Homo-oligomer: A and B are copies of this chain.
């Protein structure tokens, strides 16, 4: 049976490109996303047109039972999930405490932290029984630095990071590789970055990109590193790495002042 790479959060950015990359290498890519059935069908078709194997699954990860059922269904239909890519964002935009409603804060946790816990509850025992597996977890700057306006996002992502550490502490010796991948700069994904930046700034970034400036993270370049990490020899596993565009300031670096 084929190895399956399940991607939770398979949009036009990191998730979709990681799925394509794994499919290109012989995995069945199981793409899960919340909405846009047409987009999902197109991505599956694109992978199949290149000779790969893929399936698409609409999935509202915030609802109890959904991730769990998808894992069961994919395992039954496509084969053992050997790699899980947990790529759900939990960004609600910069907003002061007064505008961070209770439901938003909770939603951040449900997508950012709890969904990963739920996936691990189902999948870790399966991987352990099969002797190994890989969890690649996309994360964000907010996991290590709580900035103004990020109440929901930072709490959720920090919870995600620490959960990755506890999962790693329990499951690495059982041959399950957990990697926490800190994406520290904007990714060229129209459906998220486009919304965040607005049309004008996004267009400007695209123009820079067309000029070979590489100042916005290319999701297929990111996918190369995901694939590499997933295939490191187990005597030399990476738990955490950061990634950013070469011209971007690392999160810990202010513009120089005093």
Give the B-binding residues of A (Cβ under 8 A). 94, 96-98, 102, 105-106, 109, 113-114, 117-118, 120-121, 124-125, 142-151, 154-173, 175, 177, 186, 188, 196-197, 214-218, 221-222, 224-225, 228, 232-247, 249-254, 256, 258
Nearest B residue to A241 via CB reads: B241
Bound-state CA distance A234–B239 (Å) is: 22
Contact between chains at A196 and B147 (CB < 8 Å): no
Quick one: given A155-B163, A156-B159, A166-B146, are A216 and B235 in contact (CB under 8 Å)? yes
CB distance from A101 to the nearest CB of B (A): 9
CB distance from A234 to the nearest CB of B (A): 4
CB distance from A96 to the nearest CB of B (A): 6
The 4 closest A-B pairs by CB, nearest first: A146-B165, A221-B233, A158-B162, A241-B241
Q: How many copies of this protein are present in the complex?
A: 4
Contacts of A102 in B (CB 8 A): 117-118, 121
Contacts of A164 in B (CB 8 A): 146
Nearest B residue to A193 via CB reads: B258
CB distance from A3 to the nearest CB of B (A): 18
Bound-state CA distance A185–B47 (Å) is: 39
Q: Which of B161, B186, B235 contacts A245 (CB 8 A)?
A: B235
Q: Which of B150, B175, B197, B240 contacts A166 (CB 8 A)?
A: B150
Quick one: given A97-B120, A162-B146, A162-B154, are A234 and B246 in contact (CB under 8 Å)? yes
